[in-house]
Amino acid sequence: MDSTHQPERALTEWAEALESIVEPTDVVPEGFYTVTELADQLHLSLSSVRRKIYTMRKEGTVEVKRFRRQGPAKVYPADHYRMVK
């Protein structure tokens, strides 16, 4: 067996092993939305939603929690908001 192929095979095994590991994401409870989701559903700009949520957080009428979401390339934490009743 040619020793020049061993590092390549080892890297292939590493690549396969790393790709097989799926990072867990969180189940987002009902009523929590990201800024992007709110902007899309309410037909508002992102900046408008962010500004209004900032004001609502200062007033204590919005709860924020961070959940892990699956993005196009990786799992990332994202703030989700829910109105406090």
> Please, which residues have CB within 8 angstroms of residue 58's CB and are 6 or more apart in sequence?
none
Q: Is 63 a residue whose pLDDT tops 90?
A: yes
Whether pLDDT at 1 is above 60: no
**Cα–Cα distance, 64 to 31 (Å, whole number):** 11
Q: Could you give the CA distance from residue 44 to residue 17 in angstroms, rounded to a whole number?
A: 43
* Better pLDDT: 12 or 42: 42
Residues facing 63 on adjacent strands: 82
Of the candidate CATH numbers 2.40.30, 1.10.3470, 1.10.287, 1.10.10, the domain formed by 24-83 belongs to 1.10.10
- Provide the token pair at 6: 């061993």
Q: Domain coordinates of the chain in residue numbers? A: 24-83
How many residues are given for the chain?
Answer: 85
